[in-house]
């Protein structure tokens, strides 16, 4: 049976993992779409809609 300290560490790791996944999901999807598209757009076209 895990101790209270171990449970706290596991909960903290899960909390940080959820936050990292939450904030990294959309940029990851954009990156995959950007790198897998054909033809690959330039970086300036990604950052500036007027370019």
Tens digit of each residue's pLDDT (9 = 90 or more) over 5-48:
999 999 999 999 999 999 999 989 988 888 888 888 777 877 77
Cα separation, 12 vs 7, whole angstroms: 9
Range of the domain at 27: 4-47
Please tell me which residue, 20 or 2, carries the higher pLDDT value: 20
pLDDT score at 14: 97
* The total number of structural domains that make up the chain: 1
pLDDT score at 37: 84
Q: Is the pLDDT at 51 greater than 70, yes or no?
A: no
29-36 — which CB contacts under 8 Å span 24+ positions? none
pLDDT score at 13: 97
């Amino acid at each position: 049976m895990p101790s209270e300290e171990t449970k706290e560490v596991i909960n903290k790791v899960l909390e940080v993992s959820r936050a990292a996944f939450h904030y990294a999901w959309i940029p990851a999807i954009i990156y995959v779409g950007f790198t897998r598209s054909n033809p690959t757009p330039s970086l300036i076209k990604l950052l500036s809609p007027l370019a």
